[in-house]
């Protein structure tokens, strides 16, 4: 989290009934739309990304209706589980953990849906477990070509403000994100963006639970309705500061920064792994996230490296998530590097330097010199 965000949160409790807070919250809305690339609506919630999954579905899919979920890792499966918990029928296309969503498989499922029962397609833009990135615009194209009315709903929790995303231009009807990833604010808030088509679907729902209903949150008649209760005051000041930073840098520059840093990371890992067990989970760079990178490093080695780097070098590496490897049921050979939001070259080179040091100390097989490759990649621009 940037210091500017933390400092903005460090303040006495504001007046929640009137005054500065109200105008400040109004000012967040156009900036959130800018980040999502939409002129549509946004509802803000006090919850995490799991809450945003439930909020988005609650507004447009009733119990007993059907969603299509082309899943590419733990988070796609997680959204499907939330749908199941709401009594929604789930038509799952499991892509495993190393492939992006295949639009042709989605096309086949839509074509097979003769009665057009599928009410929404739930697509995770970047699945944070596998670090695969899927093509959201390609799914819109398939829906249009098949003349299928289902909503296209995109989970952008990991990708928003890291990887290029244009809600309107790419034809997502609903997009969700959380506060704690690309938006650089502590966990505890989430955002559901929706267009007029999704708004009309909401209007035709038999009922929507009061707390998740996006109607008044997106078009409040009074301040209280933004949050269906007391506002998350300090998160909101943090978010204001984060959006100021995002506005100052600009979305194009933010996407470019993430792409460059991800490229440096891949160069290091590919070098370390040229003849050893070290391997990026996603083979094709075109399908790799610019916000998080999952990799394999040999059974047991990731656990050892993560322990060493957090205890000896002050870097917390992500656990291997959602890996189904029968030879390694606890995913002890997999880890992830998060590089979303407030990240720059010195953080990336520092993290890679720590990893290369850990590889040496722990005698984990690798080709030395990955950090130099990352520096080369950054120098090349």
Distance between CA atoms of residues 344 and 339, nearest Å: 9
Check binding of 157 to ligand PLP (CB under 6 A).
yes
Q: Is the dihedral of CA 192, 194, 198, 200 positive or negative?
A: positive
According to DSSP, residue 12 is labeled P
Q: Which is nearer to ligand PLP, 155 or 213 (CB)?
A: 155
Q: How many residues bind ligand PLP (CB under 6 A)?
A: 11
Q: Quote the least distance from Cβ 309 to ligand PLP, whole Å.
A: 21
Q: Residue 75 has which token pair?
A: 């988070």
Q: Which is nearer to ligand PLP, 127 or 356 (CB)?
A: 127
User: Strand 318-319 to strand 126-127: parallel, antiparallel, or no bridges (unpaired)?
Assistant: unpaired
Instruction: Report the SS3 class of residue 284.
Output: coil
Distance between CA atoms of residues 112 and 85, nearest Å: 25
Distances (CA, A) of 375 to 112, 189, 199, 378: 50, 36, 48, 5
Query: Which of 282, 270, 259 is closest to 73 using CA atoms?
Result: 282
Distance between CA atoms of residues 184 and 181, nearest Å: 6
Q: Using CB under 6 A, which residues numbered 108 to 137 contact ligand PLP?
A: 124, 128
Report the residue closest to ligand PLP, judged by CB: 49
Whose structure tokens read 């399908």? 287
Q: Quote the least distance from Cβ 182 to ligand PLP, whole Å.
A: 10
**Sole window of 108-116, 150-158, 204-212, 270-278 interacting with ligand PLP (rule: CB under 6 A):** 150-158
Q: Which is nearer to ligand PLP, 155 or 303 (CB)?
A: 155
- Find all residues with CB under 8 Å of 286, minimum gap 6, and list them: none
Site string for ligand PLP, 218-257 (x = CB under 6 A): ----------------------------------------
Check binding of 48 to ligand PLP (CB under 6 A).
yes
Candidate residues 49, 232, 273, 358; the one interacting with ligand PLP per rule CB under 6 A: 49
Q: Quote the least distance from Cβ 122 to ligand PLP, whole Å.
A: 11
Q: Which is nearer to ligand PLP, 134 or 233 (CB)?
A: 134
**Sole window of 47-55, 106-114, 203-211, 247-255 interacting with ligand PLP (rule: CB under 6 A):** 47-55
Distance between CA atoms of residues 334 and 314, nearest Å: 19
Largest CA distance in the chain: 63
Candidate residues 45, 75, 278, 334; the one interacting with ligand PLP per rule CB under 6 A: 75
**Sole window of 48-56, 132-140, 144-152, 240-248 interacting with ligand PLP (rule: CB under 6 A):** 48-56
Distance between CA atoms of residues 188 and 212, nearest Å: 15
Q: Which is nearer to ligand PLP, 191 or 308 (CB)?
A: 191
Check binding of 331 to ligand PLP (CB under 6 A).
no
Residue 376 CB: number of other CB atoms within 10 A?
A: 14
- Find all residues with CB under 8 Å of 196, minimum gap 6, and list them: 40
**Sole window of 34-42, 43-51, 96-104, 311-319 interacting with ligand PLP (rule: CB under 6 A):** 43-51
Candidate residues 40, 100, 171, 178; the one interacting with ligand PLP per rule CB under 6 A: 178
**Which residue ranges make up the site for ligand PLP (CB under 6 A)?**
48-50, 75, 124, 128, 155, 157-158, 178, 187
Pick out the residues of the known binding site for substrate.
Answer: 336
């Amino acid at each position: 989290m940037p210091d500017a965000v933390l400092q903005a949160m460090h303040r006495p409790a504001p007046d929640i009934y009137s005054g500065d807070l109200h105008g400040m919250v109004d000012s967040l809305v156009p900036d959130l739309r800018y980040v999502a690339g939409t002129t549509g609506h946004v509802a803000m919630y006090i919850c995490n990304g799991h809450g945003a999954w439930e909020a988005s579905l609650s507004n447009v899919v009733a119990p007993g209706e059907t969603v299509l979920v082309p899943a590419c890792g733990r988070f796609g499966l997680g959204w499907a589980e939330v749908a199941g918990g709401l009594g929604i029928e789930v038509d799952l296309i499991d892509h495993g953990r190393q492939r992006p969503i295949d639009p042709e498989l989605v096309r086949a499922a839509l074509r097979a849906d003769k009665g057009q029962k599928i009410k929404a397609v739930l697509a995770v833009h970047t699945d944070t477990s596998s670090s695969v990135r899927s093509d959201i615009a390609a799914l819109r194209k398939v829906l249009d070509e098949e003349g299928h009315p289902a909503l296209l709903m995109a989970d952008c929790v990991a990708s928003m403000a890291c990887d290029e995303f244009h809600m309107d231009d790419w034809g997502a009807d609903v997009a969700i994100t959380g506060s704690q990833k690309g938006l650089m604010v502590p966990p505890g808030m989430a955002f559901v963006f929706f267009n007029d088509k999704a708004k009309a679907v909401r209007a035709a729902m038999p009922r929507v639970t009061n707390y998740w209903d996006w109607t008044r949150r997106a078009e409040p008649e009074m301040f209280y309705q933004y949050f269906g209760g007391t506002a998350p005051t300090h998160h909101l000041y943090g978010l204001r500061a984060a959006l100021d930073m995002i506005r100052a840098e600009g979305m194009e520059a933010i996407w470019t920064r993430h792409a460059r840093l991800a490229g440096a990371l891949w160069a290091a890992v590919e070098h370390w792994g040229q003849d050893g067990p070290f391997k990026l989970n996603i083979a094709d760079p075109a399908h790799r996230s610019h916000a998080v990178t999952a990799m394999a490093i040999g059974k047991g080695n990731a656990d050892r490296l993560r322990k060493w780097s957090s205890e000896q070098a002050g870097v917390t590496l992500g656990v291997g998530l959602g890996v189904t490897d029968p030879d390694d049921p606890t995913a002890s050979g997999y880890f992830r590097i998060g590089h979303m939001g407030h990240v720059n070259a010195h953080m990336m080179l520092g993290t890679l330097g720590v990893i290369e040091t850990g590889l040496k100390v722990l005698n984990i097989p690798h080709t030395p010199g990955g950090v130099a490759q990352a520096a080369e990649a950054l120098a090349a621009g």
